[in-house]
C-alpha cells in the first residue's frame, strides 16, 4: 500500500512539475524569438533612415551605406539587402546580391513593399536551423519606394534557448528527486498510524486483549482513530473480563442452592418412602425445597437483569436528576408505608446532570430497595440531592420533611433549597441515600458492590446483585458510586453524576 501511495503522490508531484515546466520552456522560446525580432526591427529602422533613394543621392552616401551593411554582416553574420519598388536589389553588404529569393524572403519583401512590417516570430526551438527573415518598407514622401530585408541565422538564439532549457530541466530534475523523497516520507507518515492499528488489531484477534495502539505521529484524524480504537479495546476487555467474572460468580452462587435443593428433594423422597415419617416433617422438607427453588429463581432473575444492564444502554443526555429521584421516591412510597419506614427528601428541587434517566432510575431502585429492606420498622431513609458547588457557598439546609411512611400525606411535598443560580456553576450532582439499618462492617464496605456478596450478618433474603447493578448503571456514563457508614450508623450510598458539558 505504501508503494502505491508513494507512486500516486509521485505522479501528482510529477504532474505539478510538468505543468510548471512546460509553460516555462514555451515562455523561454517565445521570449527569445520576440527579443530577436525586436533587435532586427530596430537595426532595420536605422538602415531605412539612411537609404539614399533620392535622385540626387551622392556617391558618398551610397558608399557609407554599403560600408555599414558590410560591417554589419561581418560583425553579426546577418545579411541586409535594400530592394527598390521593382524588387531589384539596390544595396547590400556584399558585392553580388542574389536576385533569386527563397519563399521566406519573397514573402517578407512582399509584406514590406505593401507598407507593413513582418510579424513577430512565435518561438525559437533549439533544433531550428532555418534563418529568420525580417523586412521594413522604405517610405519617402508617403510612398513606399523600397524595402530593407534581413536574413538572420538562428544558431546563437537556438543555443541560448537550449542553455536556458537545460538549466530549467536540471532544476526540474532536482525538484523531482526531492519529490521522490518527500512522497516516500509523506507515505510513511500517513500510513504509520494504520500500521500501528493493524498490529494492535492483530494482537487482539490473537487473544491479547491488553494490546493497545501506541500514540505517535500521523494525521490528526488517524490519531483520533487510534484513541477511539484504544477506548474500544478497553471496553471490549472490560466486557470480556466482566463476562468471565460473571460466569464464575454465577457458577459459584448457583452451585450451593442447587446442591441444597437436590439434597432436600432426596431427603423428601426418602422421608416419603419411610413408614412412620410424620407429615409435618415431610411438609418442612417440602417448604425448604421450595425456598431453595425460589432463591435459585431469584438469583437467575438478578443475573438476567445484570446481564441486560451490562449489554444495553442509552446515551447520556442532560437531565434533571432531582426529578428522576422524586419520581422514584413516589414509586417506593408504597413499600415504605407497608414497612413503616419514613422517606425523607432533602436538597435542591432541580439539579442538572449528564446521564441516562433509565439507568439512573434503575440504580436508584436498587439502592432504595436495599435501604428499605435493611431499615428497621419506624426507621428513616434519607435521600439528598444537591449539586457539587465549586464557586458558591453552600446554602443553609432546610429541616427535613417526611414524604412517606406512617402518618404522612400521600401527596409528595418536596423540600426545596434556594433555586440554583443561572448557568452551569456546578461540577456534577450528588445523590445520597442513607438508612439507619445495621450497616456493614468497615472492612466489608469495599465489597458491598461486588456481585453476589452478602453480609454474613444479613437477615434479609437477597442475591447480592442489587448494589452491583446500581454501580454498573451509574458508571455506564462516567458516574461513580461510593458506599460508607452514615453519621448515625446505617449504610450511606453516594451516587455522583457528571455535569452537563459546556462552558463553565
Tell which residue, 254, 245, 246, 365, has the closest CA to residue 299: 254
Rounded CA-CA distance 455/426 in Å is: 36
Q: Grid coordinates representing 380?
A: 428513616
Write down the pLDDT at residue 383: 93
Q: Tell me phi and psi for residue 233, to 5 degrees.
A: -65, -40
Q: Which of 7-16, 187-196, 220-229, 384-393 has the lowest mean pLDDT?
A: 384-393
Q: Is 493 helix (H, G, I), strand (E, B) or coil?
A: strand
- What's the CA gap between 65 and 127, in Å, rounded? 34
Give the span between the Cα atoms of 429 and 499, in whole angstroms.
7
Q: How far apart (Å, rounded) are the C-alpha atoms in residues 138 and 120?
A: 19
Q: What is the pLDDT of residues 31-43, one digit of tens each?
A: 988 998 899 889 8
Using pLDDT thresholds of 50, 70 and 90, give the confidence band for residue 165. Answer: very high
- pTM, to two decimals: 0.47
CA 121 to CA 14: how far, in whole Å?
A: 31
Q: Is the pLDDT of residue 495 over 90?
A: yes
Asked whether the predicted pLDDT for residue 163 surpasses 50, the reply is yes
Exposure class string for 132-163: b at 16+ Cβ within 10 A, else e: bbbbbbbeeeeeebbbbbbbbebeebbebbee
Question: HSE on the CB side for 183, CA within 13 Å?
Answer: 19
Mean pLDDT confidence for 436-445: 83
**What confidence score (pLDDT) does residue 400 get?**
57
Q: How many residues does the chain have?
A: 504
Q: What is the mean pLDDT of the segment spanning 353-373?
A: 89
Which is it for strands 132-140 and 143-152: parallel, antiparallel or unpaired?
Answer: antiparallel
Identify the residue with better confidence: 267 or 372. 372
Find cell 525559437 and name the residue: 124
Which 3 state secondary structure label does DSSP give 392? coil
Most confident listed range (47-61, 201-215, 273-287):
201-215
Three cell numbers written together for 105 = 524572403
Q: Rounded to an integer, what distance in angstroms lies between the CA atom of residue 299 and that of residue 52?
A: 128
Amino acid at each position: 500500500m505504501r508503494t502505491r501511495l508513494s507512486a500516486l503522490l509521485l505522479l501528482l508531484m510529477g504532474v505539478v512539475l510538468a505543468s510548471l515546466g512546460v509553460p516555462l520552456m514555451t515562455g523561454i522560446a517565445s521570449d527569445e524569438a520576440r527579443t530577436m525580432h525586436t533587435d532586427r526591427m530596430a537595426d532595420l529602422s536605422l538602415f531605412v533612415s539612411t537609404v539614399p533613394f533620392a535622385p540626387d543621392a551622392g556617391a558618398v552616401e551610397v558608399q557609407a551605406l554599403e560600408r555599414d551593411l558590410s560591417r554589419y554582416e561581418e560583425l553579426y553574420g546577418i545579411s541586409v539587402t535594400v530592394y527598390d519598388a521593382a524588387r531589384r536589389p539596390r544595396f547590400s553588404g556584399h558585392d553580388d546580391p542574389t536576385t533569386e529569393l527563397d519563399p521566406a524572403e519573397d514573402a517578407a519583401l512582399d509584406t514590406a513593399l505593401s507598407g507593413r512590417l513582418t510579424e513577430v516570430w512565435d518561438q525559437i526551438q533549439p533544433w531550428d536551423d532555418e534563418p529568420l527573415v525580417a523586412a521594413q518598407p522604405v517610405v519617402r514622401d508617403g510612398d513606399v519606394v523600397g524595402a530593407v530585408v534581413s536574413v538572420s541565422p538562428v544558431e546563437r538564439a537556438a543555443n541560448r534557448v537550449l542553455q536556458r532549457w537545460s538549466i530549467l530541466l536540471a532544476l526540474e530534475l532536482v525538484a523531482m528527486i526531492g519529490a521522490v523523497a518527500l512522497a516516500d516520507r509523506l507515505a510513511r507518515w500517513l500510513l504509520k498510524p494504520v500500521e500501528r492499528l493493524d498490529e494492535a488489531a492483530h494482537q487482539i484477534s490473537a487473544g491479547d486483549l491488553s494490546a493497545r495502539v501506541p500514540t505517535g505521529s500521523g494525521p490528526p484524524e488517524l490519531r483520533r482513530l487510534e484513541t477511539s480504537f484504544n477506548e474500544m479495546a478497553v471496553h471490549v476487555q472490560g466486557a470480556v473480563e466482566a463476562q468471565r467474572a460473571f460466569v464464575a460468580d454465577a457458577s459459584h452462587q448457583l452451585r450451593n442452592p442447587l446442591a441444597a435443593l437436590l439434597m432436600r428433594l432426596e431427603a423428601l423422597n426418602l422421608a416419603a418412602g419411610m413408614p412412620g415419617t410424620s407429615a409435618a416433617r415431610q411438609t418442612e422438607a417440602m417448604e425448604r425445597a421450595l425456598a431453595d427453588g425460589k432463591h435459585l429463581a431469584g438469583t437467575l432473575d438478578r443475573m438476567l437483569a445484570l446481564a441486560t444492564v451490562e449489554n444495553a444502554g442509552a446515551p447520556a443526555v442532560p437531565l434533571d436528576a432531582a426529578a428522576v429521584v422524586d419520581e422514584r421516591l413516589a414509586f417506593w412510597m408504597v413499600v415504605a408505608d407497608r414497612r413503616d419506614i419514613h422517606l425523607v427528601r432533602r436538597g435542591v428541587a432541580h439539579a442538572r446532570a449528564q446521564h441516562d434517566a433509565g439507568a439512573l432510575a434503575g440504580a436508584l431502585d436498587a439502592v432504595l430497595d436495599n435501604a428499605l429492606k435493611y431499615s428497621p420498622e419506624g426507621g428513616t431513609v434519607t435521600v439528598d440531592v444537591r449539586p457539587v458547588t465549586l464557586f458558591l457557598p453552600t446554602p443553609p439546609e432546610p429541616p427535613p420533611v417526611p414524604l412517606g411512611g406512617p402518618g404522612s400525606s400521600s401527596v409528595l411535598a418536596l423540600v426545596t433549597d434556594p433555586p440554583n443560580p443561572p448557568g452551569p456553576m456546578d461540577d456534577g450532582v450528588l445523590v445520597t441515600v442513607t438508612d439507619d439499618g445495621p450497616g456493614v462492617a468497615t472492612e466489608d464496605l469495599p465489597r458491598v458492590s461486588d456481585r453476589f456478596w452478602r453480609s454474613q450478618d444479613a437477615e434479609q433474603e437477597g442475591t447480592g446483585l442489587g448494589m452491583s447493578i446500581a454501580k454498573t448503571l451509574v458508571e455506564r456514563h462516567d458516574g461513580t458510586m461510593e458506599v460508607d457508614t452514615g453519621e448515625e450508623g446505617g449504610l450511606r450510598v453516594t451516587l455522583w453524576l457528571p455535569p452537563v458539558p459546556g462552558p463553565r
